[in-house]
Amino acid sequence: MIDAIARWLVRLEIVSLAVIYAYFVVTDQVPLVAFALIALIWLARWRVTGALTRRAPFDLPILLLLVWLPVSFSVTVDAALSLPKVYGVVLCVAFFYAIAHAIRTRRDLAWAMMWLVIVCAAIALAGLVGTDWAQGKIVSASFIYDHLPRFVQNIPRSIAGGFARNGVGGTLAFVVPLLAALAVGQYSVFRIQYSECENSNAPNTEHWKLNTVLTLGALLLAVVTLALTQSRGGILGTVAGLLVVAVWRERKFVWVIGAGALALIALIALGYGGALLDFVLRMDARSATLASRLEVWQRGLMMVRDFPYTGIGIGTYNAIAHLMYPFFIAAPDELVPHAHNQFLQVAVDLGIPGLIAYVGLLVAFGVSAVRAYRANRDASTRALIVGLVAGMFAHHIFGLTDAFILGTKPGIVMWIFFAFVAAMDGQRDR
């Protein structure tokens, strides 16, 4: 009886976490009973499998991150700002292990890929109906924005009640390259099946059609939503991620990268470097400038210098900056939520140990992706790995001039990417 209950709890782990995370998104709270349920599920897994977790290269960085979170939280000046981020990190780690444990066979991976596409479509749809749009940010298109539905309201700590456009752009930087790579992979699979069976009525054709329709539909929705955000960082990162996919598919696209680099060097040599930087960095408002962004980065570096071990407390950049490092360009009442650089923001929030843990996660992701790619010959699996890598790369290009604070709600996407790579790496010897 106990074993049956334990197996039932393990099977429902991802569903349970999804419900808890949905509640967290709309309330900023995680009830104590939810953490008790997560702990109970882990104990159930231990009873069923004989181990709490499957060993993975991510374990040590995750352990360091979880150990350092309370250290950083102990110095925060505003627990109300930091606590939701702590909740977010803990839930993301729980999701990571749940997904990594759930994908044990190739059949599990095939189903997980389909659900991943559905999740990507849901992210794009949520962005479409819940973003605080900025008309005229790059181009004015009020005739579009005025007719977009708005079903998401009253998100905690949202300035206008919905999702921040740059946050949506940074999330879709994960999604678009992944979906593009999956579409390319499905085309390759179809070509193989068609050549082997000499007609389009191959045994898996119907399954291929369903996956292709889902993937292309999700990709189109994600591209449209990204374009509507007018997020320069999101668009730039997405283009970089798509170039990774293109180079994987056709090596000749390396020449495109080379030509782009030469064009950039030429523009800088002609004196347009400052204008280019100003265009890229002015992501939040038309009044933003290169000087204001440099001021934000400088304040972040000063915080890391003054709080190198504990950080300032996760999510408190705005409060600490205005209190201890006043801006000259930004107004005293202007909201500056983070340091506008992903790596700098982690160091600001959690100190150098937190930054080491974050870099460790990315290194583990890269190592696991390379090993999984080399161990797989299946075209769709390889496409998934390339898409995950391209999406991670795209998001961190976005993160050069913007940031996702660890524990922020859309940050769950990064941990899903981690989990898929960890699961495929764990299948190498199966």
Do 48 and 164 belong together in one domain? no
Q: Which residues contact 144 (CB under 8 A, 6 or more apart)?
A: 228
Distance from C-alpha of 69 to C-alpha of 82, rounded to nearest angstrom: 10
Contact in structure between 200 and 266 (CB atoms under 8 Å) = no
Q: Which residues contact 296 (CB under 8 A, 6 or more apart)?
A: 321, 327, 330, 336, 339, 340
C-beta separation of 408 from 85 below 8 A: yes
Say if residue 265 is exposed, middle or buried (CB neighbours under 10 Å; 0-12, 13-18, 19+): exposed
- Domain identity same for 207 and 89: yes
- Say how many domains are in the chain: 2
Q: Are residues 335 and 369 in the same domain?
A: yes
Pair (147, 41) in one structural domain: no
Residue 32's domain spans which residues? Answer: 1-52
* Domain identity same for 136 and 221: yes
- The encoded tokens of residue 395 equal 């998001």
Cα 79 from Cα 28, distance rounded (Å): 12
Considering the chain, what percentage of its residues have pLDDT values greater than 70? 85
**Cα–Cα distance between 54 and 99 in angstroms, integer?**
11
Indicate the residue among 52, 68, 95 that finishes a domain.
52
Tens-place pLDDT, residues 217-257: 999 999 999 999 888 889 999 999 999 999 998 777 777 77
Question: Which residues contact residue 231 at a Cβ distance below 8 angstroms, ignoring those fewer than 6 apart?
Answer: 165, 166, 168, 169, 170, 283, 398
Helix (H, G, I), strand (E, B) or coil at 313: coil
State pLDDT tens for residues 51-96: 778 788 999 999 999 999 999 999 999 999 999 999 999 999 999 9
Final residue in a domain of this structure, among 14, 37, 52: 52
Q: How confident is the model at residue 203 (pLDDT cuts 50, 70, 90)?
A: very low
pLDDT score recorded for residue 191: 54
Do 132 and 36 sit in the same domain of this protein?
no
Distance CA 25, CA 21 (A): 6
In the prediction, which pLDDT does 293 show? 81
| Cβ atoms of residues 232 and 280 within 8 Å | yes
- Residue 233 and residue 137 share a domain: yes
Q: Specify the pLDDT at position 390.
A: 97
Provide the residue type at 265 as one letter.
I
pLDDT at 208 over 50: yes
- Residues 35, 66 within the same domain: no
**The three-state (H, E, C) secondary structure of 117-180, written as one string:** HHHHHHHHHHHHHHECCCCCCCCCCHHHHCCCCCCCCCCCCCCCCCECHHHHHHHHHHHHHHHH
**Phi-psi group of 130: left, alpha or beta (phi > 0 → left; psi -120 to 50 → alpha; rest → beta):** alpha
Residue bearing the bigger pLDDT, 422 or 258? 422
Q: Does residue 415 share a domain with residue 374?
A: yes
For residues 10 and 287, the model is more confident at 10
Indicate whether 320 and 337 sit together in one domain: yes
The answer to whether 72 and 314 are in contact (CB under 8 A) is yes
> Which sign, positive or negative, has the C-alpha torsion 43, 70, 156, 143?
negative
pLDDT (tens digit, 9 = 90+) per residue, 153-201? 767 766 666 788 889 999 999 999 999 999 998 866 555 555 555 444 4
What residue has token string 């977790």? 53
Q: How far apart are CA 316 and CA 322, in angstroms?
A: 10
Average pLDDT, the chain: 86
Percent of residues, the chain, with pLDDT higher than 90: 56
Of 323, 346, 347, the C-alpha closest to 336 is 323
Phi/psi at 426 (nearest 5 deg)? -70, -15
Question: Is the pLDDT assigned to residue 265 strictly greater than 90?
Answer: no
Report d(CA 363, CA 94) in Å as an integer: 20
Instruction: Give per-residue pLDDT as tens, 370-425.
Output: 999 999 888 889 999 999 999 999 999 999 989 999 999 999 999 999 999 999 99
Whether 169 and 100 share a structural domain: yes
- Say which residue, 1 or 302, is predicted with more confidence: 302
Tally of CA atoms within 13 A in the half-sphere of 104 that contains its CB: 7
The angle at the Cα of 156, spanning 151 to 161, to the nearest 5 degrees, equals: 40
pLDDT digits (tens, 9 = 90+) for 304-320: 999 999 999 999 999 99
Q: Is the pLDDT of residue 355 over 90?
A: yes
Tell me, yes or no, whether 173 and 320 share the same domain.
Answer: yes
pLDDT higher than threshold 50 for residue 284: no
pLDDT of 181 reads 95
Does position 275 have pLDDT exceeding 80, yes or no?
no
**Partner residues linked to 163 by β-bridges:** 131
Asked if residues 248 and 386 have their Cβ atoms less than 8 Å apart, the reply is yes
| pLDDT in the model for residue 182 | 94
